[in-house]
Amino acid sequence: MWLEIFLASVLGFVIYWFISQDKEETLPLEDGWWGPGTRPTAREDESIRPFKVETSDEEINNISQRVEKHFLTPERFRIKYGLLTSYVGEIVHVWNFKYLIWLFQVTALAKYRDFLHSLIWLDIHFIHVKPPQLPSSCSPKPLLMVHGWPGSFYEFYKIIPFLTDPKNHGLSDEHVFEVICPSIPGYSFSEASSKKGFDSVATARIFYKLMLRLGFQEFYIQGGDWGSLICTNMAQMVPRRVKGLHLNMAFVLRNFFILTVLLGRRFGGLFGYSKRDIELMYPFKEKFFYSIMRESGYMHIQSTKPDTVGCALNDSPVGLAAYILEKFSTWTNSEFRNLEDGGLERKYSLDDLLTNVMLYWTTGTIVSSQRYYKENLGQGLMAHKHERMKVHVPTGFAAFPSELLHAPEKWLKFKYPKLVSYSFMACGGHFAAFEEPELLAQDIRKFVSALEWQ
């Protein structure tokens, strides 16, 4: 009798566990208060204000003098110790004598309309791009795109035309999007939080409110890096509002997955790994263990003591450029670390890269952007409730081969059970929209087609 009761209890627990794993939990939709001092009693200004990126002679002179007086560490080794100082010297030359182009890049940034909008009393910057023309009887699909670190809203400038004006850029006009790209609070022109605890969930709440204020009741969302986590949190928060979630990076590591990686090269089929998964994940030491150790040093610093290194970066434009551009080298392709120039100009122009650096320098936001790691990772990512929650929103994923860590489809389906599209991309790395805009745009369109066909 007792054995029967015991077995029945175990069976009941197992059934309950499986059912509870699939229940559609949602994150609470709260306001919070992230501005300075105490929360005002007055009604928040809900107007959307045009914003113009500007510069001044004082700003240009300041950076020119700082760059001109730079001091570079003597070079001892030619490779694998970070960006070579000789190449940093070339960047400095471009910056000081050519990159008064910042004056022209400010004009280039005006290609799309910028806005500021107060959300929970934080001024949030965003660009809003509507299609220049629409096919008859076609409505644009609202799409929120969210950047990460050390990127910015500028990462999306080259992908936007493929989404908003596809016919004039070699794609069909079956799907035409209206694109909104906000800056994460504490990045570029978005005001930083004045309170502790401002994490990806708080950001998701603000961006959701932004979409509502813009008049969108349902919308698509897309992100990589921090944008991936923020968009995932939005889908966990308001699943009925998010029509579809598209990612090019995912935070899906679990202890069980790590165990399967250890055995996966030999028994990959048992764990649902495809031949391409195995190519991207092995040899394990190089593509998993060494990759994490080699590329995660910055993360340990920024998730523990971001202000310390931030003081140095906020004082030296050359140091800031070296720190940021090194990420655009090895995160685009790990093999670029063996090249004297870091391979930077194989995928990007220095003008574009330095524009991104200038968005940190001129706004003084490198410290606040790094604090985002402290808020999200200071207690460990798994300490957050959202990491244990599944996402019950139709999801698409683009697996770029040079991403920092490959996420197999089997892993994605554990957290995103409504995965409707998973693509192995032909080339590209971490900064997908910046590096391979057409490829990413095509996969977003493929995902929307698969979703609407369903």
- Known catalytic residues? 225, 373, 430
- 161 neighbors 169 (Cβ within 8 angstroms): yes
CA-CA distance, 290 to 391, in Å (whole number)? 30
Decide: 389 and 276 in contact? Cβ < 8 Å: no
